[in-house]
Amino acid sequence: MIKGGDLKKAIVFGEDGMVNDEPLRFADECVRHKILDLIGDLALVGAPIEGHIHAIRSGHASNVQFAKELWNLKEKQMRDSASLTEGQWDINLIQEIMPHRYPFLLVDKILELEDRKRVVGIKNVTINEPFFAGHFPGHPIMPAVLIVEAMAQCGGVMLLNTVDNPKNYLVYFTRIDKARFRKPVLPGDQLRFELEMVAFKMRVCKMQGYAYVGDDRVAEAELLASIVER
């Protein structure tokens, strides 16, 4: 151990030879350096950490890996702790999970979400939808296939909410059964989707979905989907 006046004369040797070519300023300077490295690397998490951290032979690589694990845990806790009352899952949060973008993001808000059980979302249908330009001029009707797509995207939010780092995954819909379309969906309507998870195993899911405008059921379908890595 280096003491007092010996600091200015200290030369430290390691397995590969001399470690420093200048005198140490503190007896525990190497430890202080490691602590500063750790504090700086954990600042990448972007949030204060409440707790005690014990580091043994730490370095930037292990520090950054630990910071990534904390970030993943932080994102999961934010999703799990959300009460998901109306307005909480707005379009900005949906875009954090879903990869779709204009003109193919067809869910505007998530109203309810029970993990691996149920999801309720809405799509506001306006005359500004690009598909109304050709479907049909003078008689705009939302294409049935896009109603199913919007329903599937709503279910996709529920599925991607089951994995860590949802940005690393996509939802592929592999099958549609028993699709029925009862009433046309027009500009000005608000579609409400209600989906229940029927089965979920090995990242493959079966869902029963319904679409409503007000109290009227306008469509329904059974959907089969799988979660895949990008």
CATH architecture of 83-229: Roll (3.10)
Domain 4-80 - what CATH class?
alpha beta
pLDDT at 86 over 50: no
* C-alpha span between 73 and 87 (Å, rounded): 24
CA 145 to chain centre: 26
At residue 11 the predicted structure's pLDDT band, cuts being 50, 70 and 90, is low
- Which pLDDT score, from 0 to 100, does residue 195 have? 97
**pTM value > 0.75:** no
- Which pLDDT score, from 0 to 100, does residue 134 have? 96
What is the mean pLDDT of the segment spanning 100-114?
Answer: 94
Buried b (16+ CB within 10 A) or exposed e, 180-217: eeeeebeeebebbbbbebeebeeeebbbbbebbbeeee
What separation in angstroms does the CA of 219 have from each of 10, 55, 61, 194, 222?
79, 56, 52, 11, 11
pLDDT in tens, 144-154: 999 999 999 99
Strand order in the sheet with 169-181: 109-114, 118-124, 190-201, 204-213, 216-229, 169-181
Higher pLDDT, 59 or 27: 59
At residue 85 the predicted structure's pLDDT band, cuts being 50, 70 and 90, is very low
By annotation, the residues acting in catalysis are 60, 135
Single-letter residue type at 230: R
Domain ranges of the chain: 4-80, 83-229
Task: State the CB neighbour count (10 A cutoff) for residue 56.
Answer: 5
